[in-house]
């Protein structure tokens, strides 16, 4: 592994996903913004999460 890769990895910082409120089946949920379309289409079941 080169030193350049190790240095680059040390610079990377993870950021928590931005949560947005959506209403499904009369319940308000906070879900990551990028997953809102999947929840609305029913691809992700909120009871399993």
On whether residue 8 sits in a domain, the answer given is no
> Is residue 49 assigned to a domain?
yes
Per the structure, the complete domain to which residue 47 belongs is given by: 19-49
- What pLDDT is recorded for position 6? 65
User: Does residue 14 sit within a domain?
Assistant: no
Q: What is the pLDDT of residues 1-49, one digit of tens each?
A: 555 666 676 677 888 999 999 999 899 999 999 999 999 999 999 888 7
pLDDT value, residue 1: 52
- 24 belongs to a structural domain: yes
Count of structural domains, the chain: 1
d(CA 24, CA 39): 8
The angle at the Cα of 30, spanning 35 to 27, to the nearest 5 degrees, equals 110
Using a cut of 0.75, tell me whether the model's pTM lies above it. Answer: no
pLDDT at 47 (0 to 100): 86
The verdict on residue 41 lying in a domain is: yes
pLDDT score at 28: 95
């Amino acid at each position: 592994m080169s030193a350049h890769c190790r240095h680059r990895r040390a610079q990377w910082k993870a950021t928590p996903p931005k949560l947005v409120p959506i209403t499904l089946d009369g319940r308000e949920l906070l879900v990551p913004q990028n997953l809102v379309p999947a929840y609305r289409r029913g691809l992700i079941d909120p009871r399993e999460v």
